[in-house]
């Protein structure tokens, strides 16, 4: 083969390899509604499905968004060639809860211009803007920035009958605000009308502005999907991965900002649970009853009947899986049990009854039930789940046994009741170690 042809082939192969590396899809980890996790390389992401390729499987796994709780996205290192990001300082919040950080915010009349950190310059109608923090907290010392942010959040929660201009005088450690009517926000000043007089306030003194809305725009209500990244939180109606351009990019359809094209590195997590999932640990029971085990006289609040998102004796809500219940990939040759920590759930001590209202549209109750690993030697409870007083689930749960996956149909029901009863065979041992962990206890649509 001629040397020139050989060199051309080598260059062609090298170019192809570099192109493949440059356009490699990000790694993702999906969490399904039953809290199972699968990791792999993104194959495709459309409005109807998310597919990923596991390294040890010949075919990709395909999921409908309705099957997913969330998707975490790996952040690939910057390979160069991309535009440098603007240094964020301004934060804008919309009426439906979306927020973006960027370099600048200006407004004229009924329209605002926002220079984002991960999005290009946006033209935004002012009637969808809830607030704008103009001050760059990154320039402040950490303790002062934290205090100013806390004051800013308090002001945002204030009920008012007009717009607010939030002032921080030079060198001041605190904020103050005035109610009136906001006008144009320029590079040098902010127009503000107070008692019929229009003032131009030096922008360097303005910490932020809060726009008054008679009622929030209903068309901007959360759509069930929340897209999050550094300095980015968007409610989205649809998200798509477009691999045809450069390193690939995300196409995010939003109710208020329209279609946004974001770089591959902009998104870190997509949460599909908004409005479709409720954890019992985030709800207040409509009725609650706890009976102290016979013969006990405990005053320590840790020994009451309920803990949320933690165990009674540990900051983590854990379950232990005996070696015999583990798959070949999870088990070890030594036959060691495996503990798993859950971020959400309830710790319940017998005897306890908790009743929760089931919001309309929710169809399933799911959880993983097991005895607290720290009390499994004596733990034994009778777990019952009732829907409007009708028994949906009943099971004896003992320490040392594999946790139990439970799923109950609750369509059309109004109330869900969790009952954890004494399960010890010996009446003298009633309540000893009866600490049930109801991990991931949740209502789903």
Residue 137 is predicted with a pLDDT of 86
Residue 411 is predicted with a pLDDT of 94
Domain co-membership, 297 together with 425: yes
Name the region of 305 (left: φ>0; alpha: ψ -120 to 50; beta: rest): alpha
Residue 207 is predicted with a pLDDT of 95
Beta bridge partners of 236: 225
Give pLDDT tens digits for 370-406.
999 988 888 889 999 999 999 999 999 998 889 999 9
pLDDT: is 423 or 364 the higher one?
364
CATH number of the structural domain spanning residue 355: 2.60.120.1060
Q: Which of 189, 210, 231 is the last residue of a domain?
A: 210
Is pLDDT of 218 > 60? no
Domain co-membership, 348 together with 423: yes
Q: Which of 94-108, 163-177, 337-351, 424-438 has the lowest mean pLDDT?
A: 424-438
Cβ atoms of 28 and 39 closer than 8 Å: yes
Name the region of 23 (left: φ>0; alpha: ψ -120 to 50; beta: rest): alpha
Domain co-membership, 204 together with 288: no
Asked whether residue 11 is domain-assigned, the answer is no
Is pLDDT of 34 > 90? no
- CA–CA distance, 196 with 110 (Å, rounded to integer): 20
Asked whether residue 196 is domain-assigned, the answer is yes
Is pLDDT of 133 > 90? yes
Asked whether residue 257 is domain-assigned, the answer is no
Beta bridge partners of 1: none
Q: Which of 160, 176, 210 is the last residue of a domain?
A: 210
> CB-based contacts of 31: which residues, under 8 Å, 6+ apart?
37, 68, 69, 70, 71, 72
Is pLDDT of 110 > 70? yes
Domain co-membership, 187 together with 300: no
Give pLDDT tens digits for 139-193.
888 888 888 999 999 999 988 999 999 999 877 788 999 999 999 999 999 999 9
Domain co-membership, 206 together with 281: no
Residue 118 is predicted with a pLDDT of 79
Domain co-membership, 304 together with 428: yes
Domain co-membership, 205 together with 292: no
Domain co-membership, 101 together with 184: yes
- CA–CA distance, 344 with 389 (Å, rounded to integer): 25
Asked whether residue 310 is domain-assigned, the answer is yes
Residue 219 is predicted with a pLDDT of 43
In this prediction, residue 220 has a pLDDT band, given cuts at 50, 70 and 90, of: very low
Is pLDDT of 5 > 80? no
Residue range 340-361: average pLDDT? 92
Residue 154 is predicted with a pLDDT of 93
- CA–CA distance, 97 with 103 (Å, rounded to integer): 20
- CA–CA distance, 212 with 96 (Å, rounded to integer): 14
Name the strand (E) or helix (H) holding 13: helix 3-22
Is pLDDT of 14 > 50? no
Residue range 85-108: average pLDDT? 86
Residue 40 is predicted with a pLDDT of 93
pLDDT: is 320 or 9 the higher one?
320
Q: Which of 210, 230, 260 is the last residue of a domain?
A: 210
Domain co-membership, 306 together with 439: yes
Half-sphere exposure of 253 (CA within 13 A, CB side): 8
User: Cα–chain-centroid distance for residue 4?
Assistant: 56
Q: Which of 4-18, 232-246, 370-384 has the lowest mean pLDDT?
A: 4-18
Domain co-membership, 289 together with 422: yes
Count: domains in the chain: 2
Asked whether residue 235 is domain-assigned, the answer is no
Residue range 341-361: average pLDDT? 92
Domain co-membership, 296 together with 170: no
Asked whether residue 63 is domain-assigned, the answer is no
Give pLDDT tens digits for 55-92.
888 889 999 998 888 999 987 554 444 444 445 689 99
Asked whether residue 355 is domain-assigned, the answer is yes
Asked whether residue 300 is domain-assigned, the answer is yes
Residue numbers of the domain that contains 390:
277-444
In this prediction, residue 298 has a pLDDT band, given cuts at 50, 70 and 90, of: low
- CA–CA distance, 43 with 47 (Å, rounded to integer): 14
Domain co-membership, 281 together with 420: yes
Q: What is the pTM of this model?
A: 0.69
């Amino acid at each position: 083969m001629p040397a020139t042809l050989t060199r051309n082939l080598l260059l062609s192969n090298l170019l192809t390899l570099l192109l493949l590396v440059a356009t490699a899809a990000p790694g993702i980890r999906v969490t399904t509604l039953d809290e199972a996790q699968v990791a792999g390389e993104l194959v495709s992401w459309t409005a109807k499905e998310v597919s990923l390729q596991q390294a040890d499987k010949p075919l990709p796994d395909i999921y409908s968004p309705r099957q997913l709780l969330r998707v975490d996205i790996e952040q690939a290192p910057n390979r160069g060639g991309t535009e440098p990001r603007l240094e964020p300082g301004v934060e804008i919040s919309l009426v439906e809860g979306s927020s973006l950080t960027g370099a600048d915010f200006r407004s004229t009349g009924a329209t605002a211009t926002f220079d984002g950190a991960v999005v290009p310059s946006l033209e935004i109608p002012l009637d969808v803007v809830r607030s704008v923090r103009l001050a760059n907290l990154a320039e402040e010392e950490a303790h002062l920035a934290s205090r100013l942010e806390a004051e800013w959040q308090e002001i945002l929660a204030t009920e008012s009958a007009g717009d607010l201009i939030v002032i921080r005088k030079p060198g001041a450690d605190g904020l103050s605000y005035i109610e009136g009517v906001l006008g144009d926000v320029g590079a040098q000043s902010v127009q503000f009308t107070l008692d019929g007089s229009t003032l131009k306030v030096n922008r360097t003194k303005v910490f932020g502005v809060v726009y008054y809305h008679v009622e929030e725009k209903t068309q901007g209500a959360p759509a069930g999907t929340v897209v999050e990244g550094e300095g980015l939180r968007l409610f989205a109606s649809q998200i798509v991965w477009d691999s045809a351009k450069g390193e690939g990019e995300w196409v995010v359809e939003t109710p208020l900002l329209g279609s946004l094209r974001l770089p591959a590195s902009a998104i870190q997590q997509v949460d599909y649970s908004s409005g479709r999932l409720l954890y019992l640990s985030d709800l207040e029971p409509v009725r609650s009853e706890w009976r102290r085990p016979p013969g006990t006289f405990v005053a320590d609040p840790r020994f009451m009947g309920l803990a949320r998102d933690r165990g009674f004796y540990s900051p983590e809500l854990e379950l232990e899986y005996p070696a015999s219940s583990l798959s070949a990939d999870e088990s070890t040759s030594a036959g060691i049990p495996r503990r798993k920590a859950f971020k959400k759930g309830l710790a319940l001590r017998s005897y306890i009854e908790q009743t929760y209202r089931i919001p309309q549209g929710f169809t399933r109750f799911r959880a993983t039930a097991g005895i607290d690993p720290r009390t499994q030697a004596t733990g034994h409870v009778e777990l019952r789940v009732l829907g409007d007083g009708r028994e949906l689930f009943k099971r004896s749960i003992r320490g040392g046994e594999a946790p139990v996956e439970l799923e109950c149909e609750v369509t059309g029901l109004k109330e869900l009741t969790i009952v954890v009863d004494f399960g010890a065979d010996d009446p003298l041992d009633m309540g000893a170690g009866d600490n049930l962990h109801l991990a991931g206890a949740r209502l789903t649509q």
